[in-house]
Amino acid sequence: MNPFERTLRAVDRAQRRRTAPAVVVGVVKKYGDDRGGLLAALITYYGFVALIPLLLLLSTVLGFVLHSHPGAQQAVLDSALADFPIIGDQLRQNVHSVQGSGFALVVALLGLLYGALGIAQVLQHAMAEVWNVRGTDRPGYWARLARSLLLLAALGTGLVLATACAALVGTALAGPAARIGGLLLSAALNTALCLACFRILTPKEIATRSLWPGCVLAGPLFTLLQAFGALLVTRELRHATAIYGFFATVIGLLSWIYLASQVTVYAAEANTVLARRLWPRSLLQPPLTGPDQEVLEALARQEERRPEQHVDVDFTGASRAKDGDRASGGPPADGPS
């Protein structure tokens, strides 16, 4: 055994003896086992596909509102929107020519529907992968469509509530108190919204109490992402040139959506690891710990695609977990649906 491997094995033994590091390692390893980066990339793709039609829809509605309404035109010129790249230049040059298009409205609505349903479907797929749901137990098209519509309704309701609460805090408070109160309220709403969405997306066999830990982690992180995005827009992009602002906006949107996707997947992985006690995990194999074997078994069995197909998993030789390691992992609290 070389010095590098000896050091890694010492670190491995240390993290397996302590709960907090073992849980963190378990979440990170489960994320890698489930190809969490690929799941986050899929969520990012459909999120961006849904966002572009949404921006087109907002621009089209803005055109309908501004057309032949001088008061609304002046209000837009006095707002922060006039300082944004590309859009702001066009508004300042000739705000009177801005008008809505019926064709653009239809295209935006269809594109938004496609992107929104796509992100809802891929979120369901991500949760099924995280919880290692067998192919034979996954819902069919119409059940997934119903879940998708329910998820979009929950997200829409959460957006309306968040906007209303932010306005209420801004009216009731002023100064630093308003900012702190707004962040705390946003964190609480994001946590509740995350729990509602996880409940819709997660197999019904998984108890709701198993979804709380990841939501408590994800809610404040989503709030920090929102605050960072708002700060980036108001400080960096607001007065940027058209070319720089265009590329910065696209890159910023992709990065923001990807970070939010990573938070979502990691939160779901944390729920799975805590619910099934999938720790401690080994950093170097062999030997495998009991939770290592449970994860590998679940990954193999989730590939069952037909009722007549059955997958058996066996571990032999030095890869077998020791009795103590298997006992430390404990039985799964919630098995795959």
Question: 136-166 pLDDT, tens per residue?
Answer: 889 888 999 999 999 999 988 988 887 777 6
pLDDT tens string 297-331: 999 999 998 888 888 888 886 555 554 454 444 43
Residue 226 — pLDDT band, cuts 50, 70, 90? confident
- Res 337 pLDDT > 50: no
pLDDT tens string 26-35: 999 999 999 9
Q: In Å, how far are 2, 191, 280, 299, 315 from 318, measured between CA atoms?
A: 20, 43, 18, 21, 9
pLDDT tens string 260-299: 999 999 999 999 999 999 999 999 888 899 999 999 999 9
Q: Radius of gyration (Cα) for the chain, nearest Å?
A: 24
Residues 6 or more apart whose Cβ sits within 8 Å of residue 213: 270, 271, 274
Q: 145-175 as b/e, with b when 16 or more CB fall inside 10 Å?
A: eebbebbbebbeebeeebeebbeebeeeeee
Q: How far apart are CA 337 and CA 178, in angstroms?
A: 44
pLDDT tens string 88-126: 555 555 545 556 677 878 888 888 888 889 999 999 999
Q: How far apart are CA 49 and CA 51, in angstroms?
A: 6
Q: How far is CA 258 from the centre of its chain?
A: 8
Q: How far apart are CA 97 and CA 186, in angstroms?
A: 38
- Residue 316, Cβ neighbours under 10 Å: how many? 6
Omega before 286 cis (within 30°)? yes
Q: 69-83 as b/e, with b when 16 or more CB fall inside 10 Å?
A: eeeebeebeeeeebb
